[in-house]
Amino acid sequence: MDSEFELVINGKTTGASSGETFQTDNPATKEQLATVSRGAKEDVDTAVQSAREAFESEWRETSNAERAAILREIATNFRDNADRLAKLDCLDQGKPLSNSQHSVNQAARYFEYYASAIDVTREDSIPVGSGYTDFTRREPYGIVGEIVPWNYPVQLFARSLAPALAVGNTVVVKPAELTPLTAIEMGRLIAESSIPDGAVNIVPGFGDEAGAAVSAHPDIDKVGFTGSVRTGQKVMESATQNLTPVTLELGGKNPYLMFPDADFDEMADDLVIACLSNAGQTCSAASRLLIHEAIHEDFIPVLVERFEELTVGSGVDDPDIGSLIGSDHFEKVRNYIEIGKQEANLVTGGRSTESLPDVSEGYFIEPTVFDDVSPDDRIAQEEVFGPVLSVIEFSDEEEAIEIANDVEYGLTSGVATKDIDRANRIARELRSGQVYVNEWYAGGIKAPFGGVKNSGFGRVKGTEALDQYSQVKNICFKYES
C-alpha cells in the first residue's frame, strides 16, 4: 500500500499548495496508515477552476449516452481494483473486510445504475395552447461541491458523485479527514477513465479549512453535504452568502416498532444488521427498539443471546463488529454508555477495548443493549452513533407512533408486524424519509433516501438524485400562424 496520498486535481495527483500534510491512522491498531496532503482554500480554488474548465469546455456538451458510457467505465475500474479498495477502506475506516467489499461493489453499482438511469430519462412536453410548443429540460447546476463524512467513505462518495456526473455536473469532493484514502484512490481511478481532466477533483483536508472553503465558494453552484446536524447548519449558513443551493443528509435516531405478531428470531437477526452494521456508526441505523408490552419480557433474552454471539475484532479478520473510527468518537460513545447506565437498565454489553477478550489496541465497543429506556432519556433522544440499542416499551399503536416521532430526527424507521393494514397505517404516520416494513434496509440504492426534520432535506439514491443534481429549464416556442 502507498504511504503517501495527494490531492487529485485536473486528472493528476499533486501536493497541497501549502506543502502541508496530515496523518491518517488505522483505528483497529492506532498505527499510522498514511500521510495525506492537507488541502485548504487555495487548493479548493484550483480544484473549482479546473472543474469549471472541464464543465464549460467539454462535459456539459456530452450526451447522456456518452456520459453513461464513461460512468460504466469508472464502475469497471472500481471492480478491477476492488480488492485493493476494500482493503484500504477496511484499514482506514475499521469496518469488517466483507463490509468494505460490499461497499466497493455498491460504489460500482451506483455508477452502473446512474449510467442506465440517465440514458432513459424523459422530459415533459406541456400543452400550453395552439401555436406553441412548450417543453422542459433538466440542466446540470455546473460545479458541485460534495462534503463527505467518515462512516461510509466509499459508498457515500459514489452515492453523490455518480448522479451528479450523470446529469452533467463536474465535481469537487472534500472527503472526511479521518478517512481520506479511498476517495483519493477512487479519484485516481476515475482519472484513468475517459472522463475529461478536471471533471472530478479530490481535495482532502480538514472541515474548517477545505470543507468551509467548499461551502463558501462563490463559483460552486450546488453543495451536497452529508454529516452531522451541527456541521450541516454551518454549511448552510456559509452557502447562504452566495445563495448556493444545498442538500443536507444528516443524522438519525431511528425507531424500529415491533408488534406481538413479529417473528422473534427473524427480528433478532434483523436487529443485528439494523443496529450494529458498521459498529452502529450508520445514520440510518435502528438505534431505538420500540416494543409492545405483551412481548417485551420474552423477546429481550432472545435479542441478548443473539447480540452476545457476535465477534468483535480488527476489520481485516472480518469479525461481525469492527472498530469505531477514532479516539474522540470512542470517548463520546463510551460516555453515552455511562449516561445509559444512569438512565436505564444495561442488559448486555457496555465493555470496550481494555475489557474485551480478543482485542488489545484500537477503539472497540461490544454490542450493547439498554432496556427500560424512557422516551425522554438522552440515550433515547440523541444520536449515539455506536453499537448501542435503546429498548422502549409501548402499549398501543398510538403510543408507539408518538414515541417514534418524538425526536428531533426523521431519517428512517421500521415496523415489524404481519398485519399489513397496521403496517400501512403506521408507515403513513411515521415522520421519516423512509420506512422499512419487516426488513430494515429493504429497498437498496434504487429507493430514494433522505430526511425530514433535523435529518436534513433533499433526496439521494433512486432517480430522485438526478433531480437533486439538476434544475429544470422551461422552453416555450411560439410558431408563426
Q: Which residues bind ligand NAD (CB under 6 A)?
A: 147-151, 156, 174, 176-177, 207-208, 211-212, 215, 226-228, 231, 234-235, 249-252, 283, 383, 385, 411, 451
Mutual orientation of helices 153-166 and 82-93 as an angle, nearest 10°? 130
Helix (H) or strand (E) holding 56: helix 41-57
What is the Cβ-side half-sphere exposure of residue 286, based on CA atoms within 13 angstroms?
Answer: 31
Residue with Cβ nearer ligand NAD (230 or 341):
230
The grid cell for 173 is 469532493
Residue with Cβ nearer ligand NAD (423 or 435):
435
The grid cell for 317 is 479478520
Q: Which residue is nearest to ligand NAD (CB)?
A: 207
> Where do runs of H (alpha helix) occur along 120-209?
153-166, 181-191
Task: Fill in the DSSP letter of residue 207.
Answer: I
Residue with Cβ nearer ligand NAD (252 or 462):
252
Q: How far is the CB of 390 from ligand NAD (least distance, A)?
A: 16
Q: How far is the CB of 207 from ligand NAD (least distance, A)?
A: 2
C-beta separation of 182 from 156 below 8 A: no
Residue with Cβ nearer ligand NAD (223 or 289):
223
Q: How far is the CB of 263 from ligand NAD (least distance, A)?
A: 29
Cα–Cα distance for residue pair 156/153, rounded to 1 Å: 6
Residue with Cβ nearer ligand NAD (193 or 468):
468
Q: How far is the CB of 212 from ligand NAD (least distance, A)?
A: 4
C-beta separation of 29 from 314 below 8 A: yes
Cα–Cα distance for residue pair 260/126, rounded to 1 Å: 51
Query: Cell numbers 460534495 correspond to what residue?
Result: 146
Contacts of 177 (CB under 8 A, 6+ apart): 22, 24, 150, 204, 205, 206, 207
Strand partners, 132: 478
Residue with Cβ nearer ligand NAD (62 or 381):
381
Q: How far is the CB of 179 from ligand NAD (least distance, A)?
A: 9
Tell me which residues are annotated as active site.
Answer: 249, 283
Q: How far is the CB of 235 from ligand NAD (least distance, A)?
A: 5
Q: How far is the CB of 363 from ligand NAD (least distance, A)?
A: 14
Residue with Cβ nearer ligand NAD (176 or 391):
176
DSSP assignment of 257-319: EE-TTS-HHHHHHHHHHHHHGGGG--TT-EEEEEEEHHHHHHHHHHHHHHHHT--B--GGG--
Cα–Cα distance for residue pair 326/94, rounded to 1 Å: 9
